[in-house]
Amino acid sequence: MSQQPKVLIFDSGVGGLSVYQEIEARLPQLDYYYLFDNAAYPYGELNRQTLIERVDSLVSSMVAKHQIDLVVIACNTASTIVLPSLRSLLTIPVVGVVPAIKPASNLAHKAVGLIATPATVKREYTHELIRDFSQNKPVELLGLTRLVDIAEEKLRGLPVSLEELHQLLAPIANKVDVAVLGCTHFPLIKEEIQSVLGEQVLLVDSGEAIARRVQELLSIEKSNNIEGIKEIYSSATPWQEEALNIALAKLGFNPVRPFHLEL
């Protein structure tokens, strides 16, 4: 049997699992390795050089240890900062994620809402995307750290308060007809966001585009005959680990393993 390609998905938390689900649906036969750097979570609060050094060290170490064939940086904050450095370090493809401003502006009739972390909303890269691809449509920016925590909580079995979501999303409610989920955590609570914003608002994220890009780079077709391995690692002991492992088992992963690196 020919060996299947190995894909590493990297994020500061569990948000990248939304990207994993899109890639895995397209290519279930791959071997998937997921590493989340929860020791330094949230990434939006790290200074630039610290972030580059952490991601370079963690990712290159995982790539060497598991002979990874392709890396997905499933974090908007990390993608906008570390990709040039990481690509110069590695000889394999590195795929990043950016907020789906371009497709959203093509789909919007009224206005686009960008729901992201405060760091992504402030970043110059985001404003360049808006200038380049959404000149004809107004973009309402909403930076929310709390949504990231809600998504992390949901994956550990805690209920999502729709009342709290209503309050958080109120600044863009009734103003937009397309909303970009500009953080990989947010598709994990897509149903709840949709119910709060209403069915008239189309929600857009980058997951499917990343999955298509991974398939292009690996040049392989879907195979349902093989089930790849799925391993997940964290840089610190995750909170509510038992509840998290139950959720991860449903996605096909083994329990979380520690991955320590002297930085």
Is 185 labelled as part of a ligand binding site? yes
What is the residue whose two structure tokens read 């500009």?
182
Whether 260 has a binding-site annotation, put simply, is no
In the chain, helix, strand, coil percent, each to 5?
Answer: 45, 15, 35
**146 CB neighbour count, 10 Å cutoff:** 11
Give the whole-angstrom CA distance, residue 191 versus residue 168: 15
User: Nearest CA to 206 among 82, 49, 73?
Assistant: 73
Phi and psi of 241, rounded to 5°? -60, -40
Task: Judge whether 12 is annotated as a binding position.
Answer: yes
Q: Which residues are catalytic?
A: 75, 183
Rounded to the nearest 5°, which phi and psi values hold at 252? 95, 5
Is 79 annotated in a binding site? The answer is: no
The residue written with tokens 């390609």 in the block is 5
Neighbours of 87 (CB within 10 A): 14
Closest CA to 32 of 68, 78, 75: 68
Is 11 known to sit in a ligand binding site? yes
174 marked ligand binding residue: no
109 annotated among ligand-binding-site residues:
no
Closest CA to 95 of 83, 81, 85, 103: 83
For the residues of 163-226, what is the DSSP string, one character each?
HHHHHHHTTTTTT-SEEEE-STTGGGGHHHHHHHH-TTSEEE-SHHHHHHHHHHHHT----SS-
**205 among annotated binding-site residues:** no
For 112, phi then psi, to 5°, come to: -105, 135
Point out the annotated binding site.
11-12, 43-44, 76-77, 184-185
What residue numbers does the annotated binding site for substrate cover? 11-12, 43-44, 76-77, 184-185
